[in-house]
Amino acid sequence: MTQSPIRVLFVCHGNICRSTMAEFVLKDMVARRGLTEQFHIESAATSTEEIGNPVHPGTAVVLREHGIGGFEGKRARQLRRADYDAFDFIIGMDTANIRNMNWILGGDPDGKVLKLLEFAGTSRSVDDPWYTGDFETTYADVRDGCEGLLAYLGM
């Protein structure tokens, strides 16, 4: 019997910086561990502002600097209520994301909505490099959160 993949959806405001970075960082981590078939990983936005747009250039640069690719065809999409049933983990980057995610999803009765850095043992938010311009710090936070998620899953 084949086990269903673990379905992870990362969410941020626009889906061009943080959530996209998390999507491709986690995809890279699971690939390096030989676990690609055990995961389905996507990302989405709470807002409509960037829908259809590609990855932010700063995100692309930092991902490439860390040897991560595969994001070239990625386009921002908005979180949908149907995503709640489609994913096992719906992971936001900050408190505002979590609030907006719960509104879009109609609540979180199954406890699927979580903040990324909770997996790294902190309640801090992942700062938005759209405002800070610091994509490297965002990458470090995203990496730590994704490593924590894999540890939580025993992988």
* Candidate list 83, 94, 128, 141, residue with the active-site label: 128
The answer to whether 146 is a known catalytic residue is no
- Cross-strand partners of 54: 75
State the Cα–Cα distance between residues 77 and 137, nearest whole angstrom: 24
* Candidate list 12, 17, 94, 143, residue with the active-site label: 12
The answer to whether 124 is a known catalytic residue is no
State the Cα–Cα distance between residues 129 and 110, nearest whole angstrom: 30
State the Cα–Cα distance between residues 145 and 93, nearest whole angstrom: 10
* Candidate list 17, 18, 28, 94, residue with the active-site label: 18
The answer to whether 18 is a known catalytic residue is yes
Q: Is 89 helix (H, G, I), strand (E, B) or coil?
A: strand
The secondary element (H helix, E strand) that includes residue 136 is helix 135-152
Instruction: For strands 6-12 and 113-115, give the pairing.
Output: unpaired
Buried residues in 88-97 as b, exposed as e (16+ CB within 10 A): ebbbbbbeeb
Annotated active-site positions, please?
12, 18, 128
